[in-house]
Chain A
Amino acid sequence: MCHDMIEIEKMGKPAVPIVSGRFTDDAKASSKAFGMPDLQFVVVPRIYRNLADDLCVSQTEEVIDDLIQTLTSEGKDVSVIEQQESVIRFEGEDRYDAVLKMNKEFTLKDWSDALPIYPPTEEKVRELISGTSLPADHVVCDMPPGFGLATVEKIAINAAMAGAKAEHMPIIIAAVKCLSEMGSHGGKSLLMSTSPHAPILMVNGPIAKEVGLNPGSALGPGRDNEINITIGRAFYLCLKNIGMWYPNKMDMDTIGTTRKFIHCVAENEEMSPWPSYSEDRGFSKTDSTVSIFITDGELDVQDQGNTSADGLLKTLAYGITFGNTTLGASHAEGHQRLIFMPPDVAGPVGGEGFSKQDAKDFIHSHANTSLGKMIQYMPINDARVDERWNWLKDKTEEERLAIEVPLLHSSSNIDIVVVGADRAKTLVFPSGPTAATVGIDQYK
């Protein structure tokens, strides 16, 4: 709403949002991101959406004086242009003590993930910048959601904090660029949502093997995933300190998710029976690419003995059938499923002659569920319910529950990436909107 109010201010009219308490810092951060740090707003204690009607009214009545004053009197110029010092110094009894002090300060400022970071010394940052032919001051993009200027140097500083090496830089730069190409919904609104939407990076092409990305048991802690973790962490720190994705400012999760310790995986191209994900998107097998998916949860769909394509894909189709369908007019095509399919599923399916598209079509046609269950999350009379659903208003709850519909609008809402070690354990993510993919080689 701050965005809309700022747009109206830009058109010459005073505009004031009523902001719920927990969103005060979000309003300030959004105002900066959209170029009006002095946007005036009024604060009510509670979030309206899940509040009883009488409380919605009463908490508004309590701030009416503030609201009128904000509409009729000039606000104080509250914005102070903070001059960021480019070099920060820490004095310690020895280097170890200085590093501890740096970590304490960076965590306090919320510049890290609260785990120890590597010192981004000028020497280390220069070393990382040597991993790309781009100059240090080159602006790769304005990184959402806060639209910080993603210079090569700032990317390198954050990558250094994550412990990245020079050879990782082209992937990290491409990933930063990739997020900026996701559009305002996936690249901005979902990241700022109260639901735990989190990016996951996926690399295709020769660079994956060159840098040692693990395409097997690729998610999770430990030695085997050192590179996956490091590149994902570097991207996270960029998203935080360049994209301004700070918790409770521009990341408003209700509970949060460990998926925000962002990971990077490689597709297991050697074990896949199909062209890679990036080949599906028009890149060649020799191109290295990074794709970003926005995920909203994850579920292990296990198979305990099916070996045929029919059996394996039915297990998968039934396993991915959970969650909501969109009742609103916008983002109607947005609900998707990202499927990290292990070789023990992809292999037998491909071996029976199923193309990747055939597999998607099969899954889509067998993933059906109760419409009533999928729309329970939003009252049918809510203003955001699109008019195409009007016919549902005459149905009883029992009738709505009895209506079986496809989980997704089409098979194009399913992405399959072959990832994993031996065993038919598929990892499924509610996801969307459509992923973005960017070539990495241009950043070498």
Chain B
Amino acid sequence: MDLLSVLNPVAQQRGMMNIIKPNQRPSTLEGATVGLVWSGTHGGDLALNRAGEMIQERFSNVSVNFYTGGNYPSPPHIVKQAAEECDVVIGATAD
């Protein structure tokens, strides 16, 4: 019999050294401002707009804001604006 010992090649990820948990969710979207962040790729806008419409159909007093920086990742000011102006945000990975 032979026992071969080798070293593990996989590195520790920086992102996993300081994990951030997602934020607490609102219990309802009633009266919420919903942000839609579009990367500019075909179809993602259709998806986001339809999602926004359906949320407005199901909850009252929902405002929908649409944001795009024309590419991905979005420019930092677009991301910041969406975070500041909205209660929740939806994005679409169209690629």
Q: How far is the CA of A15 from the CA of B67 in the complex (A)?
A: 14
A257: interface (CB < 8 Å):
no
Please, what's the 1-or-0 string for B1-44, where 1 marks a CB less than 8 Å from any CB in chain A?
A: 11111111111111110111111111111000001011111111
Any B CB within 8 A of the CB of A393? no
A48 interfacial contact with B, CB 8 Å? yes
Residues of chain A contacted by B16 (CB below 8 angstroms):
32, 35, 37, 81
- CB-defined contacts of B41 to chain A, threshold 8 Å: 48-49, 384
A305 interface contact, C-beta 8 A: no
- B3 to chain A: which residues have CB within 8 Å? 89-91, 98
Q: Judging by beta carbons under 8 Å apart, are A68 and B29 in contact?
A: yes
| A289 at the B interface (CB under 8 A) | no
- In the complex, which residues of chain A have a beta carbon less than 8 angstroms from the beta carbon of B79? 4, 7-8, 11
Counting chain B CB atoms within 10 Å of each CB, the highest count among A71, A72, A75, A79 belongs to A71
Chain A contacts for B54, CB-based, 8 A:
61, 64
A-B interface pairs (CB < 8 A), number? 290
User: Do B24 and A90 have beta carbons less than 8 Å apart?
Assistant: no
Q: A90-B6, A157-B7 are in contact. Are A48 and B40 (CB under 8 A)?
A: no
With the chains together, A93 CA to B3 CA distance in Å? 9
Interface residues of A in 79-107 (CB under 8 A from B): 79, 81, 84-95, 97-99, 101-102
Q: How far is the CA of A19 from the CA of B28 in the complex (A)?
A: 23
Contact pick for A15, options B2, B71, B84, B89, CB 8 Å:
B89
Tell me the smallest distance from the CB of A92 to a CB of chain B, in Å: 5
Contact of A4 among B13, B24, B73 (CB under 8 A): B73
In the assembled complex, how far is the CB of residue B29 from the closest CB belonging to chain A, in whole angstroms? 6
A379 at the interface (CB under 8 A from B): yes
Q: How large is the interface on B (under 10, 10 to 19, 20 to 34, 35 or more residues)?
A: 35 or more
Given the interface pairs A49-B43, A88-B8, A158-B9, the reply to whether A13 lies near B87 with Cβ below 8 Å is: yes
A146-B7 Cα distance, complex, nearest whole Å: 20
Complex: chain B residue closest to A51, CB-CB: B43
Chain B residues lying within 8 Å of A3, measured Cβ to Cβ, are: 72-73
Contact of B50 with A86 in the complex, beta carbons under 8 Å = no
Which residues of the other chain, B, contact A258 by a CB distance below 8 angstroms?
A: none
20 A-B pairs whose Cβ atoms sit less than 8 Å apart in the complex:
A1-B37, A4-B79, A14-B23, A16-B88, A16-B89, A16-B91, A18-B92, A34-B15, A48-B46, A61-B50, A68-B55, A75-B22, A88-B8, A90-B4, A92-B2, A157-B7, A184-B73, A244-B11, A382-B40, A384-B40
Q: Which residues of B contact A (CB under 8 A)?
A: 1-16, 18-29, 35, 37-48, 50-51, 54-55, 58, 68, 70-74, 76, 79-80, 82-84, 86-95
Q: Given A157-B7, A328-B70, A329-B70, 13 other A-B contacts at CB below 8 A?
A: A13-B88, A13-B89, A17-B93, A35-B14, A49-B43, A53-B46, A64-B54, A72-B28, A92-B4, A154-B9, A189-B72, A189-B73, A193-B95
